[in-house]
Amino acid sequence: MLQNRNIFENISVKSLISHVNYCAPDWGETDCSYGYNKFYYFIEGDATLIIEGDEYKPEPEELFLIPADSRHTYFHDPARPVYKYWCHFDLRLDRGRKLAYSRDGAKCRIPRRKIVPVFEKLINSCSSSDPLDTLAEKAALLEILRLFLSGVDYVGILPDSMDDFIVTVNEYIMRNIRSTITLQDLAGIVHLHPNYFIQYFRKRLNVSPIEHLNILRLEKAAQLLIRYPECTVAEIAMEVGFRDYRYFSRIFRKRYGITPSAYKKLGRFDARYDA
């Protein structure tokens, strides 16, 4: 339990968008994946959620978590439209770790009287221009997260602890994400010969060091595309260390299934997809 407590000590959360509404008749997407987390709290309606191949039929007063980068499909019966509270948010645990999907940690039932006032507080805080409401926004989001984790077997959605080797590499990448990072740089911070570093890294993570570097950069880019819609895609690419825009666009599409521009547009008009 102490280890799990330590995981939450350095938690970082940021709400990207939150709302409550009846969903449009065409609400839904198939096999999508985003670089942010989602909470759906269902009030009424006939919906279907499929997360990493597991199918759910949400019931009233059920809160679902869809972790970042999880493949999911969602839709509803327009004759019985869904009415729900929802939010998209960034979350990082200690040393940049993220939540993972687990069937035992996908949903829980929370009475409306406990969670609806918190969602209302989150929604109102997000739309406020008062700088102090940023604190209220974070407090509300953390309370929703606490209510959710209190109702599920959350061990399965917590990331496995990473050893110092991986943590050291990840921290170096995130500190220098805007800069050029070479294989020699990564090998040097853990004091290994580049050839041995590649072999050891691939054995541990099943990807090459450069592939891992690109994954972290793409995940950061996905977050920034949603968080800063006023920035161009080229500016976001530069911000995470990609100097070749066409290369960035190509590998982004390979990972997320759509171009960075399309991903950014989805983020700007998320109300259409979750409305």
Phi and psi of 71, rounded to 5°?
-75, 130
What is the per-residue pLDDT for 3?
Answer: 47
Q: Average pLDDT in the 52-58 region?
A: 96
Average pLDDT, the chain: 88
Model confidence band, residue 159 (pLDDT cutoffs 50, 70, 90): low
pTM: 0.70
Residue 2 predicted with pLDDT over 50:
no
Region of poorest pLDDT, from 17-31, 85-99, 248-262? 85-99
Q: Sign of dihedral through CA atoms 106, 96, 166, 1?
A: negative
Model confidence band, residue 254 (pLDDT cutoffs 50, 70, 90): confident
Instruction: Note the pLDDT tens digit of each residue in 57-103.
Output: 999 999 999 998 899 999 999 999 999 999 999 888 876 677 889 99
Q: What is the 3-state secondary structure (H, E, C) of the chain?
A: CHHHHHHHHCCEEEEEEEEEEECCCCCEEEEECCCCEEEEEEEECCEEEEECCEEECCCCCEEEEECCCCCEEEEECCCCCCEEEEEEEEEECHHHCCCCCCHHHCEEECCHHHHHHHHHHHHHHHCCCCCCHHHHHHHHHHHHHHHHHHCCCHHHHCCCCCCHHHHHHHHHHHHCCCCCCCHHHHHHHCCCCHHHHHHHHHHHHCCCHHHHHHHHHHHHHHHHHHHCCCCCHHHHHHHCCCCCHHHHHHHHHHHHCCCHHHHHHHHHCHHHHHC
* CB burial string 172-185: b at 16+ within 10 A, e below: bbeeebeeebebeb
Instruction: Note the pLDDT tens digit of each residue in 100-125.
Output: 899 989 999 999 999 999 999 999 99
CA atoms within 13 A on the CB side of 45: 25
Q: Average pLDDT in the 8-23 region?
A: 87
What is the per-residue pLDDT for 131?
Answer: 83
Residue 271 predicted with pLDDT over 70:
no
Model confidence band, residue 143 (pLDDT cutoffs 50, 70, 90): very high
Residue 24 predicted with pLDDT over 60:
yes
In order of their start, the domains of the chain are 2-160 (2.60.120.10), 164-267 (1.10.10.60)
Instruction: Note the pLDDT tens digit of each residue in 201-226.
Output: 888 878 899 999 999 999 899 888 88
How far is Cα of residue 156 from the mean position of the Cα atoms in its chain?
16
